[in-house]
Structure 1
């Protein structure tokens, strides 16, 4: 092996070593960012508060729906009859 081939291989090895050092540095930065975000509990707390508010809103909507369903029973009958009429018209139209 000649001196120039040895020098070329040494340069390739040095280049690869630099590439690996850059990749390792990037990996360390990503790991550090993940650690910082995981230790920051404000995101978790804000998510918990948002889910609590959503749960309260859903509970309130559910209570209002129960009240309206209990008071307006004839509305269900009307909707049912309209649905039956629409399906009947659809099937009659489809058969002709």
Structure 2
């Protein structure tokens, strides 16, 4: 009986080792897939390139806008004074209306 018990234990250990080996193989396969996906995404530079192009376009647009603003700021000083006085007037009227 001890020989059959020993054989049974050996069979159980072998089955347990096979399960662990299959689990390890499954985990290794998953790791390989993840590594491959990461490598594929890292080598795909189209997203990075499109983002770089978008920021470049935005930078160019801001430069053009700032140049237009600089050219338009050549307007005479009385126009700025008038706009400033109108804004102050609107602010004062709003504050008075708010207090009442």
Specify the SS of the correspondent of 1:2: helix
Equivalenced residues, count = 90
Distance 1:82 1:46 in 2: 39
Choose 1 or 2 for highest CA Rg: 2
Q: Which residue of 17, 28, 31 maps to 2:25? A: 17
Compute the displacement of 1:81 (Å).
1.6
Q: Which residue of 27, 30, 45 maps to 2:35? A: 27
TM-score of the two chains, using structure 2 as the length reference:
0.62
Runs (5+) with no aligned partner, structure 2: 1-8
Superposed CA RMSD = 3.0
Distance 1:23 1:62 in 2: 57
TM-score of the two chains, using structure 1 as the length reference:
0.64
